[in-house]
Amino acid sequence: MTASSNPAFDMVVVGGTGDLARRKLLPSLYLLHKNGQLSPAGRILAVARHELSTEQYREQIANSSQQEIPADQLDPETWDAFVRRLHYRAAPNATAAGYRSLTKDLDQDGARVRVFYLATMPSLYGDLAHAIGGAGLITDSSRIVLEKPIGHDLASAQQINARVGEAFREEQIFRIDHYLGKETVQNLMVLRFANALFEPLWRSEHIDHVQITVAERLGVEDRGEYYDHTGALRDMVQNHLLQLLCLVAMEPPARLEQDSIRDEKIKVLQSLRPIVDGDVAKKTVRAQYREGVVAGERVAGYHQEPGIGVDSSTETFVALKAEIDNWRWAGVPFYLRTGKRMAYRVSEIMIQFRRVPHQIFEDRLGALQDNRLVIRLQPDEFIKLAMMVKNPGPNIRLKPVDLNLNLATTFAGRTPLAYERLLLDVIQGSATLFMHRAEVEAAWRWVEPILEGWGHREWRPRSYAAGSWGPEESMALMLRDNRSWYELMA
């Protein structure tokens, strides 16, 4: 597939009235429009079940989409020009008959890139792909975008992949994980593979362990119904956190191409030691938030959130210890944790290096700290390397100091949203940052025994106060290995 820089396109957003479309896709398309990155001939067709006119749809999404756009990027004239690209069509159900009405909205000669973005429940992906195919809407230059999570477990992921694969060729299928569109996540590859410094040290001889944290302040908001059937392991770990783990752990790919990168990521996923039986209790923690205080405000517990059953045992927090059985990573645990309603919104990867082999400063230490590399993904973006230096003065006293690469101050200008980058990639036909079917299935293969372990024991999740860093058991997971979670700052 050749990537053209600015092709004319029709983008069909199925689930156009939903949260994802309003809060992520339309704001990102607006920003691409504003920055001149979309072909003037590009059109967006929102599709959902409700009967609405285009005018009504434009009004309905204006508020919620505009709230997500940085204030300095939003101006009424540009917004008006943007919504002129935007049309609405009702499709009452996921059948070929329901989708045939779209034919007249799409370009007739098939020359444009045609993107079908499924921003719906994953259980509909198979039916929708067939409906789109059955309605005769798939052209040679068509692509379909599937949001995570692809399925609920391995079997449903395989079924979705198979059914979508009956309508679209694998190279037409773009499985999105928006973490791969984040600037610092892409920077991770540059850091590792464009600098000679790190790669020789990037292995068990020099790295003690790795921590990956994705903490959110938000609760489940108005997504209770989706979330309660999903939980943090499926919503975050199976995709975002495992993708981050893969980028830290994979071998250098031969080329910056989808196949090369995907092959290396799959090898990592396949080398993850399965967490089964008794290990589920030892190596995983699942918990649910109760009421508490976040950013100075009292907030409800998970059970009080709209759409959540009173006896729901869905986890909103997961911590776990992952181990990779290969030469590079033998004996180096990767600790992962993610949760909603935590103290701060912060996502970080921390690489903890080992102690120097022989310590000559023993008596005059000051605060000895082993080197650590911290890569912050959000809310701000930086890469910090904590090093020991001498405290100025007559005696030798050591002090840890950060070599700090702050990406916001180093590079002027706005950091694009993850979806901006990825939507543009789909339109341009560049699949490097998207997941292959085998990758998604390998991730489920590792996650599934954990889900089964939780299910067999009918584990009730532990509880943590909203606004905290999770339950005590999460600290205990680290303490058992004589380690502790790296302290995250606001």
Supply the residues annotated as catalytic: 240
- Shortest reach from residue 219's CB to ligand BG6, in Å: 10
- Shortest reach from residue 233's CB to ligand BG6, in Å: 12
Measured from each CB, the residue nearest to ligand BG6 is 235
Decide: 485 and 215 in contact? Cβ < 8 Å. Answer: no
- Shortest reach from residue 184's CB to ligand BG6, in Å: 12
> Crossing angle, helix 418-428 and helix 26-34, to 10 degrees?
80
Decide: 482 and 336 in contact? Cβ < 8 Å. Answer: no
- Shortest reach from residue 240's CB to ligand BG6, in Å: 6
Q: What CA–CA distances, in Å, run from 147 to 65, 179, 262, 423, 481? A: 19, 12, 18, 12, 36
For 416, other C-beta atoms within 10 Å of its C-beta total 18
Q: Give the sign of the dihedral formed by CA 61, CA 67, CA 70, CA 73.
A: positive
- Report which of 104, 88, 165 is spatially closest to residue 137, judged by C-alpha positions: 104
- Shortest reach from residue 345's CB to ligand BG6, in Å: 7
Which residue, 102 or 447, is less far from ligand BG6 as judged by CB?
447
For the CA atoms of 416, 420, 421, 424, the dihedral, rounded to the nearest 10 degrees, stands at -140
Check binding of 235 to ligand BG6 (CB under 6 A): yes
**Residues constituting the chain:** 490
- Shortest reach from residue 178's CB to ligand BG6, in Å: 6
> How many chain residues are in contact with ligand BG6, going by CB under 6 A?
3
User: In whole angstroms, what is the distance from residue 229 CA to residue 151 CA?
Assistant: 11
Which residue, 124 or 401, is less far from ligand BG6 as judged by CB?
124
For the CA atoms of 216, 220, 222, 227, the dihedral, rounded to the nearest 10 degrees, stands at 130
Which residue, 213 or 284, is less far from ligand BG6 as judged by CB?
213
For 168, other C-beta atoms within 10 Å of its C-beta total 19
**Which residues, at least 6 apart from 456, have a Cβ–Cβ distance to it below 8 Å?**
none
Q: Is 413 left (phi over 0), alpha (psi -120 to 50) or beta?
A: left
Output the six-digit token pair for 239: 């995709």
Which residue, 94 or 220, is less far from ligand BG6 as judged by CB?
220
Output the six-digit token pair for 27: 């704001």
Q: What CA–CA distances, in Å, run from 27 to 12, 30, 90, 170, 413? A: 15, 5, 21, 28, 18
- Shortest reach from residue 216's CB to ligand BG6, in Å: 5
Which residue, 142 or 338, is less far from ligand BG6 as judged by CB?
338
Which residue, 241 or 431, is less far from ligand BG6 as judged by CB?
241
Check binding of 315 to ligand BG6 (CB under 6 A): no
Provide the mask over 127-166, with x wherever binding to ligand BG6 is found by CB under 6 A and - wherever it is not. Answer: ----------------------------------------
Which residue, 122 or 133, is less far from ligand BG6 as judged by CB?
122
Which residue, 216 or 348, is less far from ligand BG6 as judged by CB?
216
Decide: 273 and 280 in contact? Cβ < 8 Å. Answer: no
Task: Give, as ranges, the residues between 406 and 425 that touch ligand BG6 (CB under 6 A).
Answer: none
Q: Which long-range contacts (CB under 8 A, 24 or more apart) does 39-42 make?
A: 39/6, 39/7, 39/8, 39/9, 41/8, 41/9, 41/112, 42/8, 42/9, 42/10, 42/11, 42/85, 42/427
Task: Give, as ranges, the residues between 195 and 214 that touch ligand BG6 (CB under 6 A).
Answer: none
Check binding of 216 to ligand BG6 (CB under 6 A): yes
- Shortest reach from residue 122's CB to ligand BG6, in Å: 11
Quick check: bond before 149 cis, omega within 30?
yes
Task: Give, as ranges, the residues between 163 and 192 that touch ligand BG6 (CB under 6 A).
Answer: 178
Provide the mask over 328-367, with x wherever binding to ligand BG6 is found by CB under 6 A and - wherever it is not. Answer: ----------------------------------------
- Shortest reach from residue 421's CB to ligand BG6, in Å: 12
Which residue, 88 or 444, is less far from ligand BG6 as judged by CB?
444
- Shortest reach from residue 424's CB to ligand BG6, in Å: 17
For 476, other C-beta atoms within 10 Å of its C-beta total 11
User: In whole angstroms, what is the distance from residue 299 CA to residue 473 CA?
Assistant: 22
Which residue, 120 or 352, is less far from ligand BG6 as judged by CB?
120
CB hemisphere CA count around 220 (13 angstroms): 28
Question: Where does residue 198 rank: exposed (0-12), middle (13-18), buried (19+ CB within 10 A)?
Answer: middle
| Contacting positions for ligand BG6 (CB under 6 A) | 178, 216, 235
